[in-house]
């Protein structure tokens, strides 16, 4: 549905915001673009939406160039920009009707307003809507053309926790109905919940890509606990044999990092059981997408000088 090869975007002053990225999105998939501020997510999405031509490389959406073959692509895509501009004096219903007039084969405006939960606000003027309600109106307009591919640029920014959950449910329902979704987000939990696959951007490049599970699986799990009274780290079983990569001791607290959580955890608990000691403040956890994101961004920053390579976790 979307195919991106060696894509580049250069702004007026010569600044290269997108520096040769590759990814593809399959039919019915939710694909998330993550990244630090200024990583190049919006610059990329705008190229996919056909709002600007690339400085280099290639974009195909539904098999077409979204910039030069706009007429073939635009009717089949829905776009929710980071900031929508609405005439503020119109009501919600008037805005949806006006927009429907610009879309060929539009769905009934009331239907999409109901989908996003704005049915009780149809007579409210846009200027009186909250920020979150405006985001929902924006989403409703993107859905009017019943798109095959939906671009959502930070769909839940500005929404409260409940609004965010509602948006997630909506995106999940769209995926169920076969819509392909490309979204950018700052919320790692959002990507973890919604994305079938994701790419983490950093300074115009893709630093890592794969399913959320694949990207997090590359990061070490953590175990921490308090040393039992009278014991020292040297009294623990040999950590290397438990699959522990490295460890640090902070007062009485021991922190272990491992790529083999079950083996390390079992070894530690068997040891504690045999020694008859309690491991107080015991905590064991797999890496979260947030840890993976922070680690990858840090590594990418460190590796930038020597030319960063993309980590592919996909099978
Ligand atoms: N019109 C422009 N002219 C010059 N530079 C720009 C322009 N638009 C964006 N940039 C720069 O390009 C880089 C990428 O910006 P972009 O908005 O794509 O990042 P982003 O990943 O979407 O960031 P955010 O998460 O903060 O929205 C930034 O350094 C930004 O300052």
Task: Spell out the residues 6+ positions from residue 116 whose beta carbon is closer than 8 angstroms to its own.
Answer: 136, 137, 139, 140, 143, 170
Q: Can you give the pLDDT at residue 309?
A: 52
Domains along the chain with CATH numbers: 2-216 (3.40.50.300), 221-285 (3.30.70.980)
Torsional class of 146: left (φ above 0), alpha (ψ -120 to 50), beta (otherwise): left
Q: How many residues does the chain have?
A: 315
Q: Which residues contact 176 (CB under 8 A, 6 or more apart)?
A: none
Q: How far is the CA of 129 from the centre of ligand 1 (A)?
A: 28
pLDDT tens readout for residues 181-195? 999 988 888 898 899
Q: Which residues contact 49 (CB under 8 A, 6 or more apart)?
A: 66, 77, 79, 151
Q: Which atom of ligand 1 is nearest to the CA of 82?
A: 27
pTM summary value: 0.81
CB of 258 within 8 A of CB of 244?
yes
Q: Which atom of ligand 1 lies nearest, measured to the CA of 204?
A: 14
What's the pLDDT tens digit per position in 262-287?
999 999 999 999 999 999 999 998 88
Which tens digits make up the pLDDT trace of 92-139? 999 999 888 888 888 999 999 998 889 999 999 999 988 888 888 988
Residues having CB closer than 6 A to ligand 1 are 11-12, 15, 17, 35, 37-43
ipTM surpassing 0.85: yes
Tens-place pLDDT, residues 296-314:
777 766 765 455 455 555 4
pLDDT of residue 199: 94
């Amino acid at each position: 549905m979307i195919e991106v090869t060696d894509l580049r975007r250069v702004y007026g002053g010569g600044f290269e915001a997108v520096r040769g990225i590759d990814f593809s999105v399959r039919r019915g998939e939710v694909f998330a673009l993550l990244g630090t501020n200024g990583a190049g997510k919006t610059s990329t999405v705008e190229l996919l939406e056909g709002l600007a031509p690339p400085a280099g490389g290639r974009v195909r959406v539904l098999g077409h160039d979204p910039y030069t073959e706009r007429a073939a692509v635009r009717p089949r895509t829905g776009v929710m920009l980071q900031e929508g501009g609405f005439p503020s004096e119109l009501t919600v219903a008037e805005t949806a009707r006006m927009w429907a007039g610009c879309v060929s084969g539009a769905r009934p405006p009331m239907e999409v307003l109901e989908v996003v939960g704005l049915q009780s606000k149809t007579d409210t003027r846009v200027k009186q809507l909250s920020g979150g309600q405006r985001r929902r109106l924006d989403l409703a307009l993107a859905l009017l053309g019943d798109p095959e591919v939906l671009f959502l640029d930070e769909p839940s920014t500005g929404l409260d926790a409940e609004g965010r959950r509602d948006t997630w449910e909506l995106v999940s329902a769209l995926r169920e109905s076969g819509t392909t979704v490309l979204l950018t987000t700052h919320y790692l939990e959002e990507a973890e919940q919604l994305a079938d696959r994701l790419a983490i951007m950093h300074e115009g490049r893709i630093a890592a890509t794969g399913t959320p599970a694949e990207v997090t699986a590359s990061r070490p799990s953590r175990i921490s606990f308090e040393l039992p009274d009278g014991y020292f780290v040297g009294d623990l079983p040999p950590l290397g044999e438990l699959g522990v990569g490295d460890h640090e001791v902070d007062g009485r607290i021991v922190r272990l990092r491992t790529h083999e959580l079950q083996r390390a955890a079992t070894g530690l608990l068997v040891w504690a059981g045999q020694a008859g000691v309690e491991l107080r403040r015991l905590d064991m956890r797999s890496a979260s997408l947030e840890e993976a994101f922070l680690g990858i961004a840090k590594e990418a920053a460190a590796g930038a000088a020597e030319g960063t390579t993309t980590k592919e976790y996909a099978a």
